[in-house]
Amino acid sequence: MVTKTEETQLDRLENQVDNGGGGAWEYLCLVRKLKVRRSEKVLKHGLSILNDPKKRSSLGSEEWTLYEQVAIAAMDCQSLDVAKDCIKVLQKRFPESKRVGRLEAMLLEAKGSWAEAEKAYSSLLEDNPLDQVVLKRKVAIAKAQGDISGAIDCLNKYLETFMADHDAWRDLAEIYVSLQMYKQAVFCYEELILSQPTVPLYHLAYADVLYTLGGLENLQAAKKYYASTIDLTGGKNTRALLGICLCTSAIGQLAKGRSKDDKESPELQSLAVAALEKDYKQRAPEKLSLLTTALKSLKVSS
């Protein structure tokens, strides 16, 4: 996770570099450290260092790391020629390296020659069957080809070993949601909540899936998770506020026959409505009428 302070630091540095204030290398190091994806900038500033022999040689052995970083950024931007040049330099320097082999396979992948890339990755895996990057690239290939079930298989196999990797769980959850396999997605989101209980986005996504699944029990749980999202975000999340309203109305409809009323938090939804109205009044007054009609149709508006 990139924290707020790190992000502001990164943005400040990026601004400085963009305006010719120097510090390109520090910027690239920070990008690498935080693992953020700003390929265009990396490509631009990285190349400016690499094309300047004096700056390049002053990096010492870090030069090769920069080549790798620029190559990956170039592939991300589809500047395949640049990537090819970088990889060629690295290949010359480290002829036997697996890391360079990985880059070459990625280049094949970027070109779209899936079969060849797949073959290259498989041969890399033979040497080291636990190479996380390569295993993840295979998932990416399957996804790029539109082979969603293949991607799910790959991810499941990956997670069987690396079951503490929450990024993979997140990817899997999103795939399951896109395929409307909500029960599986619920499991993945639970896993995400377990690994990072204070990230409100996971609570929100979990609540969304539970609401979609329907059924009284799931709806009640969904409402609770919307509530926790509100708590974690300080009530700033519009989606969670709307979720509370939707859940309350759906629960009301389902529980109509039964006399059991929602005794847990009767005030929550009226408060949510009030918060929504206030928020809309402040930030988008012209859309307030849309909100009130929508809430009225849910029969929750006071």
Partner 1 sequence: MAEELVLDTPIRNWVLIPLSVVMVLIGVLRYFVSKLMRSFPVPDPKIVKEGQVVVRARNLRAGANFIPPKSFRARRFYFSNEENGLLHVPKGQAQNPQAQMFSDPNMAMDMMKKNLSMIIPQTLTFAWVNFFFSGFVAAKIPFPLTQRFRSMLQNGIDLSTVDVSYVSSRSWYFLNLFGLRGLFSLILGEENAMDDTQRMMQMGGFGFDPTKNLGAEKDSLDIIQHEWALPKFEHRAEAVLRKLVH
Regarding 194 and contact with partner 1 (CB under 8 A), the answer is: yes
Total binding residues for partner 1 by CB under 8 A?
34
Q: What's the min distance (Å) between Cβ of 274 and partner 1?
A: 5
Contact 243, 226 (CB under 8 A): yes
Regarding 234 and contact with partner 1 (CB under 8 A), the answer is: yes
Amino acid identity at 114: W
Nearer to partner 1, 22 or 214 (CB): 214
> How far is the CA of 92 from the CAs of 31, 79, 124, in angstroms?
26, 20, 19
Nearer to partner 1, 16 or 249 (CB): 249
Regarding 224 and contact with partner 1 (CB under 8 A), the answer is: yes
Q: How far, in Å, CA of 91 to CA of 68, rounded? A: 11
Q: Interface residues for partner 1 in 140-179 (CB under 8 A)? A: 160-165
Q: Which residues contact 109 (CB under 8 A, 6 or more apart)?
A: 117, 137, 140, 141, 144
Regarding 60 and contact with partner 1 (CB under 8 A), the answer is: no
Regarding 125 and contact with partner 1 (CB under 8 A), the answer is: no
Regarding 278 and contact with partner 1 (CB under 8 A), the answer is: yes
Amino acid identity at 95: P
**Given candidates 275, 288, 292, 301, which one binds partner 1 under the rule CB under 8 A?**
275
Q: Which residues contact 112 (CB under 8 A, 6 or more apart)?
A: none
Q: Which residues contact 6 (CB under 8 A, 6 or more apart)?
A: 30, 34
Q: How far, in Å, CA of 210 to CA of 32, rounded? A: 37
Regarding 29 and contact with partner 1 (CB under 8 A), the answer is: no
**Residues of this chain that bind partner 1 (CB under 8 A):** 128-130, 160-165, 187, 190, 193-195, 197, 221, 223-225, 227-228, 230-231, 234-235, 264-265, 267-268, 271-272, 274-275, 278
